[in-house]
Amino acid sequence: MNKMKIVVDMLGGDLGIAATYSGLEAFIASHPDVEIYAVGTANVLNSLKNVKVIDANQNVKMDAHAMELLHDKESSMAKAFETLNKENADAIVSCGGTGALLTFASIKVKKLDNVLRPALVSPIPTLKEGKKTLLLDLGANNENKVEELVSFAKMAKVYYEAVYGKDPSIALLSNGTEEGKGSPLIQETHKVLKEAKLEGFVGNIESSELLKGNIDIVVTDGFTGNIALKAIEGTGNVVKFLLKDMFKKSLKNKLAYLLVKKDLKKKLTMLSSKPLGGAMFIGLKKVVVKAHGNSDAIAFKNALETAYRSVKGDLVGKISEGASHE
Whichever of 125 and 313 has its CB closer to a second copy, that residue is: 125
CB of 232 to a second copy, least distance (A): 5
Q: How far is the CB of 42 from a second copy (least distance, A)?
A: 34
Reference 98, options 145, 37, 56, 141; nearest CA is 141
Helix extents (H) in 221-250 = 222-248
Q: Which residues pair with 124 in a beta bridge?
A: 133
Q: Is the CB of 124 or the CB of 311 nearer to a second copy? A: 124
Contacts with a second copy, residue ranges (CB under 8 A)? 63, 127, 139, 142-143, 173, 175, 178, 182-184, 186, 206-212, 220, 222-224, 226-228, 230-239, 241-243, 245-247, 249-250, 252-253, 255-257, 259-260, 263-264, 267-268, 270-271
Those residues whose C-beta lies under 8 Å from the C-beta of residue 220, and which sit 6 or more positions away, are: 135, 136, 137, 149, 172, 173, 186, 228
Q: In angstroms, what CA-CA distances link 30 with 3, 24, 27?
A: 15, 10, 6
Taking the complex as a whole, the smallest distance from the CB of residue 108 to a second copy amounts, in Å, to 22
If we measure between CA atoms, which residue out of 228, 167, 220, 217 comes closest to residue 189? 220
Total residues belonging to the chain: 326
68 vs 74, beta carbon nearer a second copy:
68
Distance in angstroms (rounded) separating the CA atoms of residues 137 and 125: 16
Residue 224 Cβ vs a second copy, minimum distance, rounded to whole Å:
6
Task: Evaluate whether 274 touches 296 at the Cβ level (below 8 Å).
Answer: yes
CB of 307 to a second copy, least distance (A): 25
Q: Minimum Å distance from CB 275 to a second copy?
A: 15
Give 74 or 179: the residue with its C-beta nearer to a second copy: 179
From CA 296, how far away is CA 177, in angstroms rounded? 37
For residue 137, what is the DSSP state? -
**Closer CB to a second copy, 57 or 250, in the complex:** 250
Between 48 and 70, whose beta carbon lies closer to a second copy?
Answer: 70
